[in-house]
Structure 1
Amino acid sequence: MSAFDNMLVRNKEFAAHVSSEGTPMPSLPESLPYVKSLIITCADMRVDPAHVLGVDLGEAVVMRNIGGRITPGLIEQIGMLGRIGQVAGETPGGGGEFHIVILQHTDCGITRLAGDSALLANYFQIPETELEAKTVLDPRSAIAMDVAALRAITALPASWIISGVNYDVTTGLAEVVVPPAPLRTA
């Protein structure tokens, strides 16, 4: 049996125990108050928020990219999520606490691209001369930088909570690098 066949078998087991019938489409919290978190993380298969943080189905919107980094493309996707809620006619101001978690990790593949400045500059959509500031070799600094980048987006509600976590793929432990705090002081 192939890996894909195994996935389909596991899907049938999953479907027998879980139903998302009636669960609204995910969006940003001002349009859907039941979504309580947005987790931005790496595409690395070792860093699955369902396992690393115990996130249940429907509990968070999970956005993944190489390095779990804040890029212009990711910011555009966040904006599109907000627009989905608007088009669906959901009422803004969904209420309750909303938490953005930046989840990066040790031994990230993006560090292996540090010598390919043209590729990384294109990924971050910046000149190669500014690439060093992205700290691709240091996940803790990258987390702090990415939290700061989201805090600078004034279109995001100041009351949203943001934190940054570094997951150690060797020990399985998550270290809080940026403690939870509002995006901005009102």
Structure 2
Amino acid sequence: MEFIETLIQRNAEFALNGFNAGLKILPSQRTMILGCVDPRVDPMDVLGLQPGEAAIIRNVGGRVDPAFFETMDILRTVSKAGGEEVGRGWSLVLLQHTKCGIKGCYHHAPALLAQQMRVEEPDLAQLEINDPYKAVAIDVAALRDHPSIPGDFTVSGLVYDVDTGLVDTVVAPARLRPA
């Protein structure tokens, strides 16, 4: 059996037993999570989220990159259409992890990674690709410096350890910028 057939069967089960037509377009916990595409680090599982609690954005490395800022701009527009502006009272969680595959790209295809991050190849070292603890702090700083991200977001930075299953708080929840 092809895996797509398995997925279709699982969807039919979901439609019967797990589907909730009452979910809203805006997350019930007013939370957005940026995480990595690595299947070991699904925020729904790692953080015990329930459907509809958070909007999850995933990219390679769970990094704040130019595409993330573009996505956030679009989500702010969607939220306005949904009746609420993203910002005050909202949380933005950065979730990176140990043993991330982004390191392989950094060491074996740095030009490709530099293109993705839209930086010059020599500047990749400043992004601390090899250290998720430092990378989270760098990404929170990038959020603080970017004018399109509402300053009244509460932002935090977490690192998930793929060996223990535990999350470490690297950047404690705090308002992105002072009022």
Cα distance, 1:143 vs structure 2:
0.6
Check the 8 A contact 2:24/2:52 in 1, yes or no.
Answer: no
Q: Which AA in structure 1 matches 2:174?
A: A
CA distances 1:67-121 after superposition (whole Å, capped 9, x unpaired): 00011011101101112234x36354786x2111100111100011122221111
CA distance in 1, matches of 2:124, 2:86: 37
* CA distance, structure 2, for counterparts of residue 48 and residue 38 of structure 1: 14
Q: Counterparts of 1:155 and 1:75 in 2: how far apart (Å)?
A: 8
1:49 aligns with 2:43: yes
Q: Which residue of 1 aligns with 2:66?
A: 72
CA change 1:91–1:53 in 2 (3 A) is closer
**Which SS does the other structure have where 1:63 is aligned?**
strand
CA distance in 1, matches of 2:100, 2:9: 30
Q: Among all aligned residue pairs of Structure 1 and Structure 2, give the percentage whose two residues are the same amino acid.
A: 40
Summarize the alignment of residues 1-186 of structure 1 with structure 2, pairs less than 5 Å apart: 1-26=1-26, 34-86=28-80, 88=81, 90-92=83-85, 97-115=89-107, 116-186=109-179
Residues in 1 aligned to 2:153 and 2:83: alpha-carbon distance in whole angstroms: 19
Q: What stretches of structure 2 of length at least 5 have no aligned partner?
A: none
Paired position in structure 2 for 1:29: none
CA distance in 2, matches of 1:178, 1:89: 30
- Superposed CA deviations along residues 127-156 of structure 1, whole A, max 9, x for unmatched, are 112111011111101110111111112332
The letter of the residue matching 1:141 is K
Calculate the TM-score normalised by the size of structure 2.
Answer: 0.90
Quote the RMSD (CA, aligned, Å).
1.9
How many angstroms apart in 2 are the aligned matches of 1:48 and 1:145? Answer: 22
Higher helix share: 2
TM-score in terms of structure 1 length: 0.87
Q: In 2, are the aligned partners of 1:164 and 1:176 still within 8 Å (CA)?
A: yes
Amino acid at match of 1:103: L
Q: Is the 8 A contact 1:35 1:61 kept in 2?
A: no
CA distance in 2, matches of 1:175, 1:35: 21
Runs of 4+ in 1 over 4 A off after TM superposition: none
Aligned length: 178
C-alpha change, 1:164 and 1:92, in structure 2 (3 Å) is closer
| Segment drifting more, 8-17 vs 105-114 | 8-17
Specify every segment of 5 or more residues in structure 1 that has no aligned partner in the other structure, as ranges.
Answer: 27-31
